[in-house]
Chain A
Amino acid sequence: MAEFQTHEHDVLVIGAGGAGLRAAIEAAAGGVSVGLVCKSLLGKAHTVMAEGGLAAALANVDERDSWKVHFADTMRGGQYLNNPRMAELHAQEAPGCVHELESWGALFDRTRDGRILQRNFGGHAYPRLAHVGDRTGLEMIRTLQDHGIHQGIDVHMECTVVELLKDGSRVVGALAYDRERGRFRIFRAKAIVLATGGIGRAFKITSNSWEYTGDGQSLAYHAGADLMDMEFIQFHPTGMVWPPSVRGILVTEGVRGEGGVLKNSLGERFMFNDIPEPYRKSTSDTPEEGWRYVTGDKNARRPPELLTRDHVARCIRREVREGRGSPHGGVYLDIAWIKERIANAPDHIRKKLPSMYHQFMQLANIDITAEPMEVGPTTHYTMGGVRVNGDTQMSTVPGLFAAGEVAAGLHGANRLGGNSLSDLLVFGKRAGAHAAQYAKAHGSGAIDIHAVDTAAQKALAPLDRTGGESPYQIQQDLQEMMQAKVGIVRQESELQEALVELDKLKARAAKASAPGNREYNPGWHTALDLTCLLTVSEISARAALERKESRGAHTRDDFPDKVAEWGKFNLVFRRGTDGGMVVERTPLVPLRDELKQVIEEHK
């Protein structure tokens, strides 16, 4: 048997993005010992890339805002598949979490009277996103990191968890390897918080980094937890499309929030042509009114560019398909035009969107203050994930918690921009607190050393094999297949094909080999990540096949309409006792009467 270095913590947090850091801080405040592991260095998780802002009904810019409006917006955006308890807690607790961040040193942009400034974003009725230019995520992760390092948390950087360890039904630890040396480590813990983010690397065109291989979802699934809403993957309408090497990199919705407009090759603002019924009342019908809205006129209605992401992405896809796209298969996003309306527009744009300016200048030779950008949809966010209790964030496996993008429930069928950063704070905090409580109430469990040994052997297999295929090639083929068959618009035959392809890819992955040794070997890491990607890709494809309607981010060509009956269920996947995938239609978490009324009032 191999030697394992063992670490012992009351609470182990897996993932050091906003959710993981917030959970670790809260758990430490609960008086238990806390370990934090992450695949990259501290401060480099996805959260650092978030641009536009963090949604919280502070009502600093528009006093009509309140948690009720935020709640109603979140539910409408999620097409009512959300866990209403989570949407409620999120809307109520986000403002406090933002202030807490400020008390730890975060510096948001200010209103004239010195309070936190808020900006417009798609699907939010009022300006609601606290922000720092277009680098809000950096501000948030750095604040949490700089606060967190003084809370007595043990941080294990560049360390990847490959298996959760159980004692009976309960989770009691995790097996990981450190990337630098490739040595295995056992983490014993009384409670574990998953905060590992999404699955965006399953697709070819994506705004997500190498880390987003669905590890948390896959670990939870194999540990027996329920995964929910896995058919709902958000394609952000505006990613870069040219040059090819930057395809998929995000262009923040903040561009549209600041007045950017979408145009096709005919110069037409095509978003005016298709405004969905639920939003008709609240959407402007003239460019004039749209401009007044983004410049703060409270009587104006929002421009159609700020409709929800699923809808904008589909409209862009339609323009491109019908031949009205830009030269490189996107459409135009124009912020430069605001020079017709305001003096010193270029300065204003550089001030409000500095990293977008820099990104286009550096990577595409485009000056966004002078010319339009070319944009198209990119895989962005995973609404589905580990099914959790709305109050405690505990999964269906005792002792296993989940928070942030890896968890399901808050966003339902579609997430509103800005609702993720607030999600991380609200539910990271809750998960940390409840994990600490759980750890205090339960002793340590026993580690099954045979399970550890088997998992370690399995992890080493790609290194031991020779002559197999390169894991990079398999990952690339998987991404192309998922993009083509489980992408923005889906249909039965393609989804069936996807499942057949997935079987073949799994067989190839089982024979892949990674040359080299255990020390900082990205080929080996890719081979291990691939097993997680394949698990979550299969669940997403199966879920997409199962849901025979179009709703939110899930669009079926063969079932183009929303079906009321389907609005009553979430799709839940779990591993059956025989190891096969079990799918279940689980009735929605019931909506309390007073919340029903809140939704009615803000329709």
Chain B
Amino acid sequence: MGRVNFQIWRGTATGGFQEYATEITEGMVVLDAVHQIQAESANDLACRWNCKAGKCGSCSAEVNGHPRLMCMTRMDEVLKETPPGRAVTLRPMQAFVPVRDLVADVSWNFEVKKRIKPFRPRQPDAADGTWRMAQSDVDRVQEFRKCIECFLCQNVCHVLRDHRKHDEFIGPRFLVYAAALEMHPLDVEDRTDELRKAHGIGYCNITKCCTKVCPEHITITDNAIIPLKERVVDRHYDPFGSLWRWFHSTDKASGGPSS
């Protein structure tokens, strides 16, 4: 594939793009190119990575303006979309404050998670203190638990990226997290009130941008956010329904096998 030019963001918010070139061979991913540039010509080029296999969600950045995992983005595909004669651009995620080079300050996400009520299981099903769950009930939630916390969805959500509502809206990642808890077969906690107030679920207007970038192919909007919105709406505009639910408050956890 030969020598390829890159424009890589260097420095903090006040930094700028710098040009680098490196040799690209078969099978290389963007992260390989970054590492090569690091070793050859920019020893102090900052980036995050760990697994190099799409499992840890560390290496998120914007490649030619598209939010991606650098370790799972093949250079041959990037070159196909890069206009001839142009450099491949790499910059950090834009919805967060830049730390340096390709590293963004994602610490806000870790703070948000702490504000969501933790898992609270129902009483064990068996005398030995264990539970019984059907695979089909587990499957539904496992989709959400695939999340590798890459925060790419947070990065593209206009509520955070453009409107900077970081104080009022938890973002798609944490709506997925809340959905995983709410739909967990064993969980008996109720998070609907917070979702509406403190977590700002109403800000989401279902643009589905988050779903499009999720490297784990989680159907964030249809499977997590919309059902959560329905729960919130039901709970708050349906007085009879909430009374009924109050009497059947353990029903939410009816995740055991049908036998």
Contact = CB atoms under 8 A, between A and B. Distances in A.
Q: Do the two chains bind?
A: yes
A246 B27 contact: yes
Interface in A492-532: 514-517, 519-524
A132 interface: yes
A109 interface: yes
Contact of B53 (A210, A211, A244, A359): A359
A597 interface: no
A36 B23 CA distance: 40
B51 A49 contact: yes
A138 interface: yes
Nearest to A519: B100
Contact of A355 (B55, B74, B138, B185): B55
Nearest to A246: B27
Interface in A15-68: 40-46, 48-49
Given A150-B118, A249-B52, A115 B44 contact: no
A113 interface: yes
5 contacts: A44-B50, A49-B55, A102-B131, A105-B119, A520-B100
Interface in A67-116: 99, 102-105, 107-110, 113-115
B130 A40 contact: no
Nearest to B25: A244
Interface string B67-89: 00000101000000000000000
B247 to A, nearest CB: 26
Given A103-B121, A243-B28, A249 B53 contact: yes
Contacts of B145: 107, 132, 138-139, 142
Interface stretch (B106-114, B155-163, B205-213): B106-114
Nearest to A527: B43
Interface in B153-185: 181, 184-185
Contacts of A471: 43
Contacts of B43: 470-472, 514-516, 522-523
B15 to A, nearest CB: 12
Contact of B113 (A105, A149, A358): A149
A260 B209 CA distance: 38
A40 B58 contact: yes
A295 interface: no
A149 B148 CA distance: 17
A273 interface: no
A521 to B, nearest CB: 4
A537 to B, nearest CB: 20
B44 A209 contact: no
Contact of A99 (B48, B101, B129, B142): B129
Given A364-B27, A524-B44, 13 more contacts: A43-B149, A44-B56, A49-B51, A103-B121, A103-B129, A107-B133, A110-B138, A243-B28, A249-B52, A358-B54, A472-B39, A519-B100, A522-B46
B218 to A, nearest CB: 12
A318 B72 CA distance: 32
Interface string B20-50: 0000011111001000001100011111111
A97 to B, nearest CB: 13
B249 interface: no
